[in-house]
Amino acid sequence: MTTYYSGTVIGAVVTLGLLRRVNIMRSGGAGRHVMGATLATAGVVAFCTMTNPLYALWFVLPAGAVLLVLRVCSQLSSRALCRAGLVLCVGTALGMALRIPFAHSIVATTEDYWHLRDIGASLAYHARQVSDTLATRAGIASLCITLGMWIASIVIALAVVRRGKVVHSFIALSACLGPFIVAVAVIVMGSEATRYLQPWAFLPFLALTVLPGVEFAARGISRRILAWLPARESIGTLRAAGVVGAAIFLGVVCALTMPRINATVSVVDADLRCVTDWVDASGRTGAGLFWTMRAPKAYAADPRQIVQVDDQLHAGSWLANRHDAVNAQVTFFITDADSYPFSFPDASPAGAMDVISCGRYAIHDFYPVVAPLKPAER
């Protein structure tokens, strides 16, 4: 799991609940509620698609497939299918349209995601990833947990579908079919981005929410909470007491933890300090891959002295200030153990460079040769 996709994960889970609500509503005496839930769902779909089109792969595609399965199983009416399908299609289209005004700031294009000629390469790549994961005990454990949870979601889905309750069937089928559909779609796209397979890490767990015992326990807890709530006239006092209590609790937590946090964040590790001290003293501009240079760039006295590039010396365009690369005179590279081999300037072969070791970092200095940076790839 990666944190920069957390919003997409939350959006997928929230929309699953909203679409579940849309599926079970009838237009009889609850027309306004149906319309409200439908508009809310379409709005969330549009917003999530606008912020990250990957949402369409993680949720819209699997949800559409699950709705069709429910219709084939006669658990969902044609009217409900059309309503839910319309919500997904309109919301996704609107989200993509809302990205148009931001096109000048969006680096990735459709061609960056679709490589239909590379389906075989994608399949081979992911097979190697699985093989490499199985080479370690931690990898074996993680795969066993992932596959075990997915198999459990399949068992739960089969049991739930037999009961014929569309609400539970929709969630259970989304939990078990979603990861498989996403995996197939990623391979068909010819993608080698394993991070796109994150639904395997969270969708199967949603099947647990439709277990009879879990539902019964949730209802029991809800009834107890409602019974415990005070009369309406006492709610104001309760809220005030809650705010005061929360403020006191947060104050105590801050008082106990802030000194330790401040001491921790104030310390720069020796390897990083070695790099930043050298860069600051050089007065020159260097470059590095995103994952390598982001920490030195953040701690350098002048962050513009470190430019983000790829291994072919294209100026970086992912989470980068592109202005840093304009007329940049790069005379050194910063690498670490995970860096790809750079295309070093011909006038200064790797053997003739000064290599400054800074622990996990290495600085390859080829001054006075200047590396010719290429324009950023869109």
Tell me: the pLDDT tens digits for 308-363?
888 778 887 666 677 777 888 888 999 988 787 776 655 454 456 788 999 999 99
- Does residue 359 lie in a domain region? yes
pLDDT of the residue at 107: 64
Residues 140 and 274 in one domain: no
**191, 210, 229: which is the final residue of a domain?**
210
Question: Helix or strand or coil: residue 286?
Answer: strand
Is residue 235 predicted with pLDDT exceeding 60?
no
Name the phi and psi angles at 96, rounded to 5: -65, -35
Contact (CB, 8 A) for 363 and 334 = yes
pLDDT tier for residue 94 given thresholds of 50, 70 and 90: very high
Length in residues, the chain: 378
Residues 200 and 274 in one domain: no
Contact (CB, 8 A) for 177 and 66 = yes
pTM here?
A: 0.67
- Does residue 236 lie in a domain region? no
Residues 49 and 146 in one domain: yes
Lowest mean pLDDT among 159-168, 259-268, 295-304: 259-268
Mean pLDDT of 41-59: 90
Count of the separate structural domains present in the chain: 2
Question: Helix or strand or coil: residue 307?
Answer: strand
More confident residue, 302 or 219: 302
DSSP 204: G
Is residue 223 predicted with pLDDT exceeding 80?
no
- Does residue 240 lie in a domain region? no
Handedness of CA 298, 334, 269, 360 (dihedral sign): positive
**165, 184, 210: which is the final residue of a domain?**
210
Strands (E), the chain: 285-288, 306-308, 330-336, 354-358, 361-365
DSSP for 320-374? S-GGGGTT--EEEEEEETTPPPP---TTS-GGGSEEEEETTEEEEE-TTS-B-PB
Domain extent for 98: 3-210
DSSP 269: P
pLDDT of the residue at 28: 43
Tell me: the pLDDT tens digits for 8-43?
888 888 888 888 777 655 444 455 566 777 888 899
- Does residue 372 lie in a domain region? no
Paired tokens of 101: 């005004």
**210, 244, 279: which is the final residue of a domain?**
210
